[in-house]
Structures are given as C-alpha cells and as structure tokens.
Amino acid sequence: QRFDQVGVKKVDFATCLEKSHVISIHCNLHDETFHLLNEHAFESMPQRPILINTARGPIIDENALLQTLQKDYIHSAGLDVFEDEPPLSHRNILLSHPRIVCTGHIAWYSLEASQELQKRAAQNMVMMLNGKIPDDCLNPMVKER
C-alpha cells in the first residue's frame, strides 16, 4: 500500500483534525467537502495546526476560519483559493489577518509543474487517440468501460 511505502498512517477525518500539526487540503469540491472545515472541525483541532488550502475555496468556511483565528484555535493559515474569487471586499478582515498568507490561486505554479501539466496533457491525448482511457480521467462512467 502506498501509505506504507511513504511511511504514513491512514486515519479518519476526526483523528486527522485531532492529531495534525499541519493540515494541507487537496480534495475536490463537492457536496461532501463544501465547508468541510467549519466551526465544528476547527474546534476539534487541539494541536493549533497550520492550515493550507490550495484546493478549492469553499472547502473552508471562511467566516468560521476568521473566528477560529481570533480565538487562537489554529496557528495560522495559507490560502491560495477563496470562497469568492477574487475575494470580495467583505473578506478584507480575513485577508488582512496577521496570521494569514494569501496568494492569488497560483501556489501550484513552478516551471516544473507547468512542464509536467503540458506533458500529461499530451500523454492523455495520445492515449485517447489510441482508443484508451487516459490515466488522468476523472469521469467514473468512462473509467468503467
């Protein structure tokens, strides 16, 4: 299993919130992950973790995040994505908080990442042209064929 290979342990969400010192979000946004990190989730983080979101903004309830920072329940946050993009002016208090670092949805970017994305797009196109399902296919109906 991949977890064993890289020396990590798979845990449930509640355990992750309870034990983590750093939480980096990398999930898709859908009904189950909308406001996944909300007031209840933040209150169950005794380690005062650093929170990083480079996935999708609405995974974090930004109002709850601001309250959490004000109550000192988490150490700090790094946000590359926001509930509204670009963030609307009513978010200025959150964006100017001294323990928040914000970037403009570009945290993924590096020369290596850009080259990898181009390479994968070309490999996926070759697979499709050869009648195969691309490795990066996210559509479950297509993958089941």
Reported as a single tens digit per residue, the pLDDT across 12-37 is 999 999 999 999 998 889 999 999 99
Active site residue 90: no
| Interval 106-125 mean pLDDT | 84
Active site residue 144: no
How far, in Å, CA of 132 to CA of 79, rounded?
A: 37
Q: What pLDDT is recorded for position 140? A: 53
Q: Which of 56, 62, 83, 91 is catalytic?
A: 56
Active site residue 40: no
- For the cut 80, the answer to whether the pLDDT of residue 1 exceeds it is no
Q: What pLDDT is recorded for position 107? A: 63
Q: Which of 40, 48, 85, 120 is catalytic?
A: 85
Q: What are phi and psi of 55, to 5 degrees?
A: -90, -90
Predicted confidence (pLDDT) per residue in 32-63, tens digit: 999 999 999 999 999 999 999 999 999 999 99
Residue 54: which residues within 8 A CB-CB, separation 6 or more? 24, 25, 26, 80, 81, 107, 108
